[in-house]
Amino acid sequence: MLKFQVRRWSERPRMLVFMLGVMLPAAGFIVAGASYLRNIQRNKAIEAVIQREHQQVLAIAEKRIDARAYDIAEEARAKFPDVNQGDRLEAFLVAHPDIAHAVLWAGKGHVQGQSQPARMNEPAFGEEGKEFSSMIGHWFDPESESKDWIAKLKKMEAKEGKHVYLTDNWVSRGDKWQYQSLVLFVPRGSTAEHPALAGFVYDTDYLKDKFFPQALNDVLPNQNQNDTHPQPVIMVRTVKDHAPLATSLRWDGGSPEVERSFEGVFPGLVLGIKLRGTTIANISNHFVQTAFLILGALSLLMGGGMLLTYRNVARELALAKLKSDFVSNVSHELRTPLALIRLYAETLELGRISNPGKRQEYYEIIRKESERLTSLINNILDFSRIESGKKEYSFRETDVADLVRSTLESYRFEIEQDGFQFEQKIDNDLPQVWVDREAIARSLLNLVNNAVKYSATEKYLGVNLYRHNGGVNLEVVDHGIGISAKEQPKIFEKFYRVGDPLVHNTKGSGLGLSLVRHIVQAHGGEVAVESEPGQGSKFIITLPVQTAEVQQAKGMSA
């Protein structure tokens, strides 16, 4: 008893090691993963990364748009009339329909202005041009102003190789402020004695309809219509208006998520970027959700794997325990009959027993004990053959009634002597069944032995044989200690013995029923149990009708 307890305790540390070694790291991994994801979510880390990326896209966009604006303005400047060719301003504007107004300042009070001839039919357009010229005149007339500007432009030319300076120019049309782009430069023919300045403006319409749409699309190359990934789209607006002035081709409405004010060429304009068809928050949520899903799936897999491993380890441990119990049970079972045989044989050998009745009794004990030994050894041998896959059956067409009767015959007397009420009910007209006689007899004896072993006060043994579904059923019934419903499925497992003290006090190896089940299944049948603790048990072996294939298979092994 003490031995079993010691062994049971030693399983716990092993399970503990399993929990510590496998479950804790796994749980740690899951918790760390989840909290890491939570942090990412809470700190809006993904949003921040995308926003930073968008800022970079906008910075690059601004640079490229500026460069494009310089190119266009430089090109126009190169064609601008010289200081003394003020009459060519109109021709210049005809050649540059995108320019709204042009102006040439050639010293205090000398301003020549011209508006785009193609647009003179527009109301107030000529007026706007005149205002522009007079503004430039007022601007440069003070000597200090014009000097400053010329110096600034010369310096820019020397430093950056640029001949033009671009800035904003707001005009009011109707009730709205319109954005224009003003280009200023020193015209050819300007000298130190006769300084001159010139300028022209690109109108809102040009910026809105031509310049920015092209520039914005150039900044976002390789936009593939079929790409399902969210693609960035950009727009430009004035600081005075949230509605876009111009957008890239695939702009899908809404407001930009990241904005950047132009610093150089287009002061007063703002670049904006967003993702087509989605938002940064959506992308981040989607990412976090997917990551949580993956983590969840991984956790499930890991949990499943651990459960499987745990169950396997537990099963292995249980089997190891059963095996060691088996060894001690079998040794005990071998030792007891051997000791009895030796004791009675020695007593008889001494020749002191004069009472023939007594002597007869001793011979009987010796025979019974050797029979018990034989059946135990047969069980063990059978079991080891089954385990190594070497068990063979030899099937023969058999009269089962005759087989059962003759098997029980030699036991009937003994059983009845033990005080058992023995009932045997065998139907007539039973069909012939293909069986291995010896194996079936052994199964029956195992069941009968159990019935006898596990009956305490109520000593009854019933054996019934009857036709069932074309085959036969063999029942062994007792009124013994019974088996709880929980234990019933386990008793057919190898080495398994019920943990009840009533059972532990009875000798056994835990092999009998597992052999019975193996034998019966090899016959294409099943063995079942009906039992209630304290009420007794009924074991039912079903030997089925033989199908053609079974017959054939049996014919081969027979």
**Does the protein bind ligand ADP through residue 478 (CB under 6 A)?**
yes
Point out which span in 91-99, 132-140, 436-444, 491-499 binds ligand ADP (CB under 6 A). Answer: 491-499
**Does the protein bind ligand ADP through residue 498 (CB under 6 A)?**
yes
Euclidean distance between CA atoms 132 and 113, whole angstroms: 8
Euclidean distance between CA atoms 369 and 363, whole angstroms: 10
Euclidean distance between CA atoms 311 and 19, whole angstroms: 12
> Quick check: 506 and 332 in contact, CB under 8 A?
no
**Does the protein bind ligand ADP through residue 525 (CB under 6 A)?**
no
3-state secondary structure 28-70: HHHHHHHHHHHHHHHCCHHHHHHHHHHHHHHHHHHHHHHHHHH
**Does the protein bind ligand ADP through residue 373 (CB under 6 A)?**
no
Residue with Cβ nearer ligand ADP (163 or 518)? 518
Give the pair of three-digit tokens for residue 459.
Answer: 């000593």
Residue with Cβ nearer ligand ADP (47 or 478)? 478
Binding to ligand ADP (CB under 6 A) within 534-553 occurs at: 537
**Does the protein bind ligand ADP through residue 386 (CB under 6 A)?**
no
Q: Say if strands 258-261 and 269-275 run parallel, antiparallel, or are unpaired.
A: antiparallel
Q: Say if strands 460-468 and 421-426 run parallel, antiparallel, or are unpaired.
A: parallel
* Type and span of the H or E element at 512: helix 512-522
Residue with Cβ nearer ligand ADP (315 or 396)? 315
Choice from 270, 341, 451, 540 touching ligand ADP (CB under 6 A): 451
Q: How many CB atoms lie within 10 A of CB 550?
A: 15
Q: In the stretch 336-365, what mask flags binding to ligand ADP with x, by CB under 6 A? A: ------------------------------
Question: How far apart, in Å, are the Cα atoms of 41 and each of 93, 146, 161, 287, 462?
Answer: 57, 57, 49, 10, 73
Measured from the CB of residue 377, what is the shortest distance to ligand ADP in angstroms? 13
Residue with Cβ nearer ligand ADP (153 or 481)? 481
**Does the protein bind ligand ADP through residue 512 (CB under 6 A)?**
yes
**Does the protein bind ligand ADP through residue 450 (CB under 6 A)?**
yes
Measured from the CB of residue 535, what is the shortest distance to ligand ADP in angstroms? 10
Euclidean distance between CA atoms 235 and 240, whole angstroms: 15
Choice from 454, 479, 542, 546 touching ligand ADP (CB under 6 A): 454
**Does the protein bind ligand ADP through residue 181 (CB under 6 A)?**
no
**Does the protein bind ligand ADP through residue 481 (CB under 6 A)?**
yes
DSSP helix/strand/coil, 184: strand
Point out which span in 23-31, 358-366, 393-401, 504-512 binds ligand ADP (CB under 6 A). Answer: 504-512
Euclidean distance between CA atoms 215 and 476, whole angstroms: 96
**Does the protein bind ligand ADP through residue 491 (CB under 6 A)?**
yes
> Quick check: 232 and 275 in contact, CB under 8 A?
yes
Measured from the CB of residue 557, what is the shortest distance to ligand ADP in angstroms? 25
Task: Outline where DSSP puts E strands in 58-215.
Answer: 99-105, 111-115, 164-173, 176-185, 197-202
Measured from the CB of residue 451, what is the shortest distance to ligand ADP in angstroms? 5
Provide the 8-state DSSP code for 548: H
Q: In the stretch 98-127, what mask flags binding to ligand ADP with x, by CB under 6 A? A: ------------------------------
Residue with Cβ nearer ligand ADP (196 or 477)? 477
Choice from 246, 511, 520, 527 touching ligand ADP (CB under 6 A): 511
Q: How many CB atoms lie within 10 A of CB 289?
A: 12
**Does the protein bind ligand ADP through residue 197 (CB under 6 A)?**
no
Q: How many residues interact with ligand ADP (rule CB under 6 A)?
A: 22
Give the pair of three-digit tokens for residue 214.
Answer: 């092209």
Choice from 497, 517, 518, 523 touching ligand ADP (CB under 6 A): 497
Point out which span in 171-179, 249-257, 286-294, 474-482 binds ligand ADP (CB under 6 A). Answer: 474-482
**Does the protein bind ligand ADP through residue 519 (CB under 6 A)?**
no
Question: How far apart, in Å, are the Cα atoms of 5 and each of 89, 109, 332, 377, 503?
Answer: 112, 117, 18, 28, 17
Choice from 81, 471, 480, 525 touching ligand ADP (CB under 6 A): 480
Binding to ligand ADP (CB under 6 A) within 406-445 occurs at: none
Give the pair of three-digit tokens for residue 77.
Answer: 């400047």
Residue whose token pair is 């918790």: 31
Question: How far apart, in Å, are the Cα atoms of 475 and each of 100, 398, 414, 464, 483?
Answer: 113, 18, 20, 5, 16
Euclidean distance between CA atoms 456 and 418, whole angstroms: 12
Q: Which residues bind ligand ADP (CB under 6 A)?
A: 446, 450-451, 454, 478, 480-483, 491, 496-498, 503, 508-514, 537
